[in-house]
Amino acid sequence: MTKNFPISFEFFPPKTPEGVEKLVAVRQALYQLKPDFFSVTYGAGGTTQAGTLQTVQSILADGFNAAPHFTCIGATRDSVRAQLAQFKEMGIQRMVALRGDLPSGYGAHGEFHYASDLIEFIRAETGDSFHIEVASYPEMHPQAKSPEADLQALATKVGAGADSSITQYFYNANAYFYFVEQCRKNGINIPIVAGIMPITSSTQLMRFSDACGAEIPRWIRLRLTAFGDDTASIKAFGLDVVSSLCEQLIQGGAPGIHFYTMNQSVATTAICKNLGLAD
Ligand code: FAD
């Protein structure tokens, strides 16, 4: 396996001073793996936006490429325009453009309904200034009417100017390969980078997966449940399962892997070592 295989790492903006401090150490550990870029999530409706930009700024200042996520739900054309100007000022060249989900109790949808509306606006306002990543869903977005409709939504994002895509995480390599095949059959030819969630905790993973529609296969779910509070066994099992998934993806031609690190370095580093992507 080649050391040059493209990898990228996702963080969320820390909410406490301790979280910020911890992320400094996590970043230093992950810099050793020489990722193509880091991305930092963005809370729809304004909850974590300042934290996103602070985190992006710290990574850029360390000499690494950093991409903010940018959600449009609840936004206006003016607010997006101002945000784009700030991105440019900060030297940001890449972003992950998303619709986002409205936090509960947040009524207004704003002036953008879908991520494709945001991408179209970004291209109209800023031309080719940014490399635009978009989300895709091998196991279908939970609100999509059908897999075909969801594929069409991705095609619309590509038509609006998306350069590449990062998938929702999944644990079934066939779902990814079939999805990529369907993309190609439907004229979607951008790179579809596999989004990978390391397994380090059972309850957290179950909670996330139920919310975002990512399937945890029955055999994984049963084993995680059987481990109970035995976190060492959960981590060892997770490392085996996710390393083997990544190996299949790389061998099957995935153009890159994006790790949902959850602001932790240990599991991601161990997977990369197993794959021969780290010293
Ligand atoms: P869209 O592409 O707009 O799709 C949303 C839904 O609408 C889909 O069901 C789609 O099929 C449907 N749709 C799209 N266009 C049309 C149309 N023209 N007509 C009818 N239906 C249509 N959320 C955050 O809040 N912050 C983040 O930082 C964040 N980062 C993420 C990163 C990745 C890689 C991924 C995979 C997800 C991320 N999310 C984040 C979650 C994401 O915001 C949600 O999944 C959200 O529900 C959909 O966003 P989207 O950009 O995929 O939306």
Q: What is the DSSP string of 221-244?
A: HHHHHHHTT-HHHHHHHHHHHHHH
Which single residue is written with the structure tokens 């035995």? 230
Percent of the chain that is helix, strand, coil (3-state, to 5) = 45, 15, 40
Kindly report, residue by residue over 83-105, the tens digit of the pLDDT.
999 999 999 999 999 999 876 66
Kindly report, residue by residue over 245-272, the tens digit of the pLDDT.
999 999 999 999 999 999 999 999 999 9
Kindly report, residue by residue over 56-76, the tens digit of the pLDDT.
999 999 999 999 999 999 899
Q: What are phi and psi of 32, to 5 degrees?
A: -60, -25
| % residues pLDDT > 70 (the chain) | 95
- The confidence score (pLDDT) of residue 204 equals 85
- The confidence score (pLDDT) of residue 45 equals 58
Banded pLDDT at 43 (limits 50, 70, 90) = confident
How many whole angstroms separate alpha carbon 64 and alpha carbon 121?
Answer: 27
Centre of ligand 1 to C-alpha 68, Å, is: 15
**Structural fold of domain 7-274:** TIM Barrel (3.20.20)
Which single residue is written with the structure tokens 């031609």? 253
Centre of ligand 1 to C-alpha 196, Å, is: 17
CA-closest residue to ligand 1 atom 37:
135
How many whole angstroms separate alpha carbon 30 and alpha carbon 59?
Answer: 11
CA-closest residue to ligand 1 atom 13:
153
Q: Are 42 and 49 in contact (CB under 8 A)?
A: yes
Q: Are 166 and 122 in contact (CB under 8 A)?
A: no
Q: Would you give the end-to-end CA distance of the chain in angstroms?
A: 12
- The confidence score (pLDDT) of residue 276 equals 96
Q: What are the pocket residues of ligand 1 if the criterion is a CB atom closer than 6 Å to any ligand atom?
A: 41-44, 69, 71, 96, 98-101, 114-116, 135, 141, 143-144, 149-150, 153, 156-157, 166, 168, 195
- The confidence score (pLDDT) of residue 49 equals 85
pLDDT at 4 over 90: no
Centre of ligand 1 to C-alpha 93, Å, is: 21
Domain boundaries, the chain: 7-274
Centre of ligand 1 to C-alpha 144, Å, is: 10
- The confidence score (pLDDT) of residue 108 equals 63
- Give yes or no: 18 in active site: no
- The confidence score (pLDDT) of residue 184 equals 98
How many whole angstroms separate alpha carbon 99 and alpha carbon 158?
Answer: 14
Q: Which residue has the higher pLDDT, 209 or 210?
A: 209
Q: How buried is 261 (Cβ within 10 angstroms: 0-12 exposed, 13-18 middle, 19+ buried)?
A: buried
Average pLDDT over every residue of 3-12: 94
Average pLDDT over every residue of 220-243: 97
Kindly report, residue by residue over 214-226, the tens digit of the pLDDT.
999 999 999 999 9
Bridge partners for 7 per DSSP: 257
Q: Are 183 and 154 in contact (CB under 8 A)?
A: yes
Atom of ligand 1 nearest to the CA of 96: 32
- The confidence score (pLDDT) of residue 2 equals 58
Average pLDDT over every residue of 141-155: 97
- The confidence score (pLDDT) of residue 106 equals 63
Provide the b/e sequence for 180-211 (b: ≥16 CB within 10 Å): bebbeeeebebebbbbbbbbbbbeebeebbee
- The confidence score (pLDDT) of residue 46 equals 59
Average pLDDT over every residue of 31-46: 90
Kindly report, residue by residue over 14-34, the tens digit of the pLDDT.
999 999 999 999 999 999 999
- The confidence score (pLDDT) of residue 213 equals 79
- The confidence score (pLDDT) of residue 55 equals 97
